[in-house]
Amino acid sequence: MKPTSLYRSFFYVKVWSVQLNRTITSSTNYRINECLASTSSLIRGINIHKEILWNQSIAQAVRMKHTMRNSQSVFQDKYTHKNKSKRSPKMSGWAHNLHFQKCFTSRKSGHMVPSVSSVPSLVTKDRNLKNALVIHSQQQRFSHNGTESSLKLESSSESDQQLLRIDVGRRSLVIPALWLRDHCRSSKYYNHETHQKNADPDLLTRNLKIDSVEMTTNSSGVTIVWNDGHVSEFNMDWLLSNYYNEKSESGTRHLLWDRDNIESQPLPVVSYDDHMTLEAGLSKTVSNICKYGFSIVEGADATEAATEKVVQRLTFVQETLFGKMWTFTSDAQRSDTAYSTLALGSHTDLTYMDTPAGIQVFHCLKHTGTGGETLLVDGFRCLKALRQTHPEDFEFLKNTVVPHEYKENPSPDSPGYHLYSLGTTIRTHPSSGELIQIRFNPYDRAPLNTVPATEIPTFYRAYGRLIKIISDPVGHFWHRLKPGQVIFIDNWRVMHGRSAFAGTRVMCGCYLPRDEWVSKARMLGVW
């Protein structure tokens, strides 16, 4: 065989062997892939089968837990009667360690039948049976006022407490079952005539559980079936506005101001006629107070009687140690610097009362002389500035009780007084943090016996920083009250004061109770 043909044949053998190799490889691969494919489908099949088995066992466990719970409660009653132990024996066994959310109860039979669609979702990703398994009921999706929403019932792996989780847009409510039962508005538990709850003394001791929760047909609310057969219906908007809300929008009613922005807009003034004769006029006065913290009714007769009629459009006059309607001047009739010609710095009144008056009313009946301008400072703006610049001082003053007092010796005009009260300088809403009250009167501050020595420096640092903000002229709005102008000042938000004056100056006014004026604002729809 010639070398070339030998080479050629060798070459062919080489090519063939390469091809053979490829064929074997690919066919092996093919076969491997094929049997891998069949294995994986086999595994998938096993998994599916396993999933079904698993879910069936869950369903079985749910049924068993329900049965065991019923028997436990029967056992519990017997047990606690006999042994008076505080804690009844916990159900043992893995069934109890599985914190199940019950699946839906069939309405007809009332038995616990896991609806197929609910069982798969009962199983969480964590299949480790040793950890308490938190079972979630099926998530139900719905649209609330066009917002993508969902709800599901969960149970806590620590406390066995059931929780209804409702997500409406970015708002997420996690409502304990007990809260839901406590707030049931069915006629059994709530009197819709008197808007009062009916007594339910043993609510907290009954072992109440939610058997099922479903959206109402039009997704406007939820229907809850309890393990004692009771059914509760909740309107979604009612839940959203009545349940704990850290991000409550309620603080948006206030338009915080400093000197420049309150002077850059028309004064919040309502004419006497509108205020006295129109619902819209009264609403404007009240909404001004909600928004700015003060409002002026202009055009009243410069008399105490006319002033009384103006304020009574809002609510009744709050009687205090100064009487109902009062008129004062610089005659030192009462033991307070208001009855002098001295300047008064920013303060709120009646800080020496457990509940300071809600509104302070002033009406300058006469002033021949100089000075005597009224100072207004938005206390909520000051508190917001403190919260932003020194949050630790804000928190300290929110949590520190400061005593205030009013002392007056007996006189022909007074039986004598010693009023004393404890209150924090700052009060906020416990969940939303919305500002509710500033209680600030450096003149009437009583000896500080509520702060231990270790915290005294912190108090003076915090209180001093607040005084610095309040004293800053940037927030000072000065207005000379003229006869005919009745000013309503929100005494829980806006501080007032005055410049020193000379001449004859006669002021009248009164205080209005906080609860009643805010109630009026709610009834007028402006709160």
Ligand X SMILES: O=C(O)CCC(=O)C(=O)O
Ligand Y SMILES: C[N+](C)(C)CCCC[C@H](N)C(=O)O
Give the footprint of ligand X on this chain (CB under 6 A): 338, 344, 349, 374, 496-498, 507
Closest CB 426 distance from ligand Y, rounded Å: 18
- Are the C-beta atoms of residues 320 and 284 closer than 8 Å to each other? no
Closest CB 334 distance from ligand X, rounded Å: 10
Which of 168, 276, 310, 350 forms a contact with ligand Y (CB under 6 A)?
A: 350
Closest CB 350 distance from ligand Y, rounded Å: 4
374 binds, among ligand X, ligand Y, none (CB under 5 to 8 A by kind): ligand X
β-pairing verdict for 501-512 and 294-298: unpaired
Query: Which 3 state secondary structure label does DSSP give 277?
Result: helix
142 binds, among ligand Y, ligand X, none (CB under 5 to 8 A by kind): none
Radius of gyration of the chain (CA): 37
Closest CB 509 distance from ligand Y, rounded Å: 6
Burial class (CB in 10 A: 0-12, 13-18, 19+), 368: exposed
The answer to the question of residue 441 lying near ligand Y (CB under 6 A) is: yes
If the CB atoms of residues 238 and 326 are measured against ligand X, the closer one turns out to be 326
CA distance 198 to 190: 5
Closest CB 402 distance from ligand Y, rounded Å: 14
Q: Is the Cα torsion angle 325, 330, 332, 336 positive or negative in sign?
A: positive
444 binds, among ligand Y, ligand X, none (CB under 5 to 8 A by kind): ligand Y
Closest CB 336 distance from ligand X, rounded Å: 7
If the CB atoms of residues 446 and 524 are measured against ligand Y, the closer one turns out to be 446
Backbone angles phi, psi at 523, to 5 degrees: -65, -30
3-state helix, strand, coil in the chain (%, to 5): 35, 25, 35
If the CB atoms of residues 374 and 428 are measured against ligand X, the closer one turns out to be 374
Candidates 65-73, 244-252, 344-352, 466-474; binding stretch for ligand Y (CB under 6 A): 344-352
If the CB atoms of residues 58 and 350 are measured against ligand Y, the closer one turns out to be 350
Buried b (16+ CB within 10 A) or exposed e, 316-348: ebbebebeebbebbbeebbebebeebeebbbbb
Closest CB 511 distance from ligand Y, rounded Å: 8
| β-bridge mates for residue 344, sequence order | 498
Which of 258, 274, 308, 349 forms a contact with ligand Y (CB under 6 A)?
A: 349
Kindly determine how many residues on this chain lie close enough to bind ligand Y according to the rule CB under 6 A: 10
Q: Which residue has the tokens 């932003």?
A: 388
If the CB atoms of residues 322 and 463 are measured against ligand Y, the closer one turns out to be 322
498 binds, among ligand Y, ligand X, none (CB under 5 to 8 A by kind): ligand X
If the CB atoms of residues 221 and 475 are measured against ligand X, the closer one turns out to be 475
350 binds, among ligand Y, ligand X, none (CB under 5 to 8 A by kind): ligand Y
CA distance 473 to 55: 70
CA distance 108 to 81: 34
CA distance 358 to 512: 6
The answer to the question of residue 417 lying near ligand Y (CB under 6 A) is: no
The answer to the question of residue 322 lying near ligand Y (CB under 6 A) is: yes
If the CB atoms of residues 189 and 326 are measured against ligand Y, the closer one turns out to be 326
- Are the C-beta atoms of residues 512 and 311 closer than 8 Å to each other? yes
322 binds, among ligand X, ligand Y, none (CB under 5 to 8 A by kind): ligand Y
If the CB atoms of residues 79 and 326 are measured against ligand Y, the closer one turns out to be 326
If the CB atoms of residues 144 and 498 are measured against ligand X, the closer one turns out to be 498
Closest CB 319 distance from ligand Y, rounded Å: 12
Report angle CA 149, 151, 155 to the nearest 5 degrees: 150
The answer to the question of residue 336 lying near ligand Y (CB under 6 A) is: yes
CA distance 198 to 189: 5
Tokens of 222: 């939820």
Closest CB 322 distance from ligand Y, rounded Å: 4
Query: Which 3 state secondary structure label does DSSP give 359?
Result: strand
Closest CB 498 distance from ligand X, rounded Å: 4
Long-range Cβ contact pairs of 20-26 (< 8 A, separation 24 or more)? none
CA distance 256 to 271: 24
Which of 269, 338, 436, 448 forms a contact with ligand Y (CB under 6 A)?
A: 338
If the CB atoms of residues 336 and 395 are measured against ligand Y, the closer one turns out to be 336
- Are the C-beta atoms of residues 491 and 358 closer than 8 Å to each other? yes
Candidates 94-102, 119-127, 345-353, 493-501; binding stretch for ligand Y (CB under 6 A): 345-353
β-pairing verdict for 269-271 and 294-298: parallel
Closest CB 296 distance from ligand Y, rounded Å: 17
| Residue list 208-237, contact with ligand Y (CB under 6 A) | none
Buried b (16+ CB within 10 A) or exposed e, 429-453: eeebebbbbbbbbeebbbeeeebee
The answer to the question of residue 512 lying near ligand Y (CB under 6 A) is: no
The answer to the question of residue 444 lying near ligand Y (CB under 6 A) is: yes
CA distance 290 to 514: 12
Binding site for ligand Y (CB under 6 A): 322, 326, 328, 336, 338, 347, 349-350, 441, 444
